[in-house]
């Protein structure tokens, strides 16, 4: 009986290792690329500002730096994916063709593309570069996945709204199609990129790479004095919004020093669900959001999920690895809080468990 148990464990371990999922981290620039790879990412994704949905002038890759990043990653046996997932206008098509050709010359491991026309153009200009379909394409079902698969897409980055069950159904229907999902990071207020809040409030359009993340702002409440038209700061009184359809009353809350958040979703954190995701057998890559976030974020997220993923494949206790990942990721919340909010005692209680992976 003991021999059979050991044999079964060995078979399970071999099966896990043979289809090991890839950990994919954001690389907003060359320095973040190196940090993410050093802390455990199998691959990174990023791009030069043109068409990459990140237009932070001077803060992203230049072509020269991207070339250095690809060379650096390949020496480590790791991969680099290029984001070309913007939605171009006719006036930009010549620039797009030139950009695709330039990026192809750098020998990246894949293009991440969203628009169907750009998928076809990329395959025409650089047929040797695999195509990964961006989450901006919002693929949720077998029909959409099949369309892009028939166009030659090797991997889809599923919409963040997809369920694990739906991902498994797509994989069952298209076994040769790789499926990548987000496991950590910011969540869009709407389906990815299909939101006008930033465009209306800040004049910055999401699908042009300049989303201002207005949905994540810390808003404040004011009351207008009808007698003198003066705006008075929120003073602790309770405010409610009534749903006219069902009469449900929703209280609007504002935390001192933190404001209120009336639009944004909670950030995605699937560190406690790694076993469930990988047990499905449907997921080829686990992706972390955050190209514009800090160097610290790049390192901590890679380190946390590396521990959780390796723990799964080694057969170690998932509880231990999930606990380590959770403690690592908790430090990101601490770093985001205003110092006035954190008492000395709270800081001590939250920072004492940052140690080596189990």
Full DSSP string of 85-145: -----GGGHHHHHHHHHHHHHT--SEEEE-SHHHHHHHHHH-TTS-EEE-GGG---SHHHH
Nearest to 260, CA basis, from 295, 231, 303, 218 = 218
27-31, 140-144, 315-319, 323-327: range with lowest mean pLDDT: 315-319
What is the mean predicted confidence (pLDDT) over 2-23? 58
**For the chain, what is the total number of helices (H) and then of strands (E)?**
12, 13
Give the per-residue pLDDT at 249. Answer: 83
Contact between residue 103 and residue 88 where contact means Cβ atoms under 8 Å apart: no
Give the per-residue pLDDT at 348. Answer: 39
Does residue 11 have a pLDDT over 50? no
Considering only residues 27 and 18, tell me which one the structure prediction assigns the higher pLDDT.
27
pLDDT tens digits along 165-193: 999 999 999 999 999 999 999 887 777 76
Percent of the chain with pLDDT over 90: 52
Q: How many Cβ atoms from other residues are within 10 Å of residue 141's Cβ? A: 14
Give the per-residue pLDDT at 208. Answer: 64
Q: How many Cβ atoms from other residues are within 10 Å of residue 155's Cβ? A: 21
Give the per-residue pLDDT at 256. Answer: 64
Compute the C-alpha angle 72/180/163, nearest 5°.
Answer: 155
Helix locations, the chain, DSSP H: 2-18, 30-38, 63-75, 93-105, 116-125, 142-150, 164-173, 197-202, 274-279, 295-314, 318-336, 344-351
Q: How many Cβ atoms from other residues are within 10 Å of residue 23's Cβ? A: 24
Give the per-residue pLDDT at 266. Answer: 79
Does residue 216 have a pLDDT over 50? yes
Domain 18-187+267-316, CATH among 1.25.40.10, 3.90.1200.10, 3.20.20.70, 3.30.70.20: 3.20.20.70
Q: What is the sign of the dihedral through the CA atoms of 34, 35, 39 and 44?
A: negative
Positions of CATH 3.20.20.70 in the chain: 18-187+267-316
Give the per-residue pLDDT at 13. Answer: 46
- Bridge-based pairing of strands 230-233 and 222-225 is antiparallel
**Whole-angstrom distance, CA of residue 258 vs CA of residue 218:** 6
Q: Which two tokens stand for residue 62?
A: 């230049």
What is the mean predicted confidence (pLDDT) over 6-27? 67
State pTM to two decimals. Answer: 0.80
What is the mean predicted confidence (pLDDT) over 219-226? 72
Contact between residue 225 and residue 232 where contact means Cβ atoms under 8 Å apart: yes
What is the mean predicted confidence (pLDDT) over 127-131? 99
The SS3 assignment for 333 reads helix
Give the per-residue pLDDT at 187. Answer: 82
**Whole-angstrom distance, CA of residue 193 vs CA of residue 208:** 9
| Torsions phi, psi for 61 (to 5 deg) | -75, 145
**Whole-angstrom distance, CA of residue 305 vs CA of residue 184:** 9
What is the mean predicted confidence (pLDDT) over 327-351? 52
Does residue 318 have a pLDDT over 70? no
Does residue 340 have a pLDDT over 70? no
Indicate the pLDDT class of residue 2, thresholds 50, 70 and 90.
Answer: very low
Burial class (CB in 10 A: 0-12, 13-18, 19+), 108: buried
**Whole-angstrom distance, CA of residue 69 vs CA of residue 76:** 11
- Bridge-based pairing of strands 79-84 and 43-46 is parallel
pLDDT tens digits along 239-257: 777 778 888 887 776 666 6
pLDDT tens digits along 24-77: 999 999 999 999 999 999 999 999 877 765 555 446 799 999 999 999 999 999
Does residue 338 have a pLDDT over 50? no
pLDDT tens digits along 64-100: 999 999 999 999 999 999 999 988 889 999 999 999 9
């Amino acid at each position: 009986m003991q021999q059979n148990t050991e044999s079964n464990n060995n078979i399970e371990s071999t099966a896990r290792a043979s289809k090991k999922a890839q950990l994919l981290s954001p690389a907003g620039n060359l320095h973040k690329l190196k940090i993410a790879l050093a802390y455990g990412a199998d691959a990174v994704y990023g791009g030069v500002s043109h068409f990459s949905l990140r237009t932070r002038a001077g803060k992203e890759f230049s072509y020269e730096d991207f070339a250095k990043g690809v060379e650096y990653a390949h020496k480590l046996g790791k991969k680099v994916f290029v984001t070309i997932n913007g939605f171009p206008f006719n006036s930009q098509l010549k620039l797009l063709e030139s950009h695709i050709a330039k990026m192809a010359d750098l020998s990246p491991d894949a293009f991440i593309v969203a628009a169907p026309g750009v998928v076809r153009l990329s395959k025409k200009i650089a047929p040797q570069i695999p195509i990964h379909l961006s989450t901006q394409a919002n693929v949720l079902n077998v029909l959409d996945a099949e369309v892009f698969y028939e166009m030659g897409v090797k991997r889809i980055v599923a919409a963040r709204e997809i369920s694990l069950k739906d991902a498994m159904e797509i994989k069952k229907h298209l076994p040769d199609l790789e499926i990548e999902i987000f496991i950590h990071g910011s969540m869009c207020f709407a389906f990815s990129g299909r939101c006008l809040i930033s465009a209306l409030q800040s004049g910055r359009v999401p699908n042009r790479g300049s989303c201002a993340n207005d949905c994540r702002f810390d808003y404040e409440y004011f009351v207008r004095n009808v007698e003198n038209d003066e705006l008075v700061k929120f003073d602790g009184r309770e405010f409610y919004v009534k749903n006219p359809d069902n009469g449900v009353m929703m209280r609007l809350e504002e935390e001192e020093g933190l404001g209120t958040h009336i639009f944004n979703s909670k950030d995605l954190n699937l560190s406690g669900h790694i076993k469930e995701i990988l047990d499905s057998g449907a997921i080829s890559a686990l992706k972390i959001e955050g190209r514009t976030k800090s160097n610290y974020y790049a390192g901590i997220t890679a380190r946390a999920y590396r521990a959780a993923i390796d723990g799964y494949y080694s057969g170690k206790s998932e509880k231990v690895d999930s606990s380590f990942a959770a403690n690592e990721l908790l430090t990101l919340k601490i770093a985001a809080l205003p110092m006035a909010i954190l008492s000395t005692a709270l800081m001590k209680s939250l920072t004492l468990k940052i140690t080596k992976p189990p």
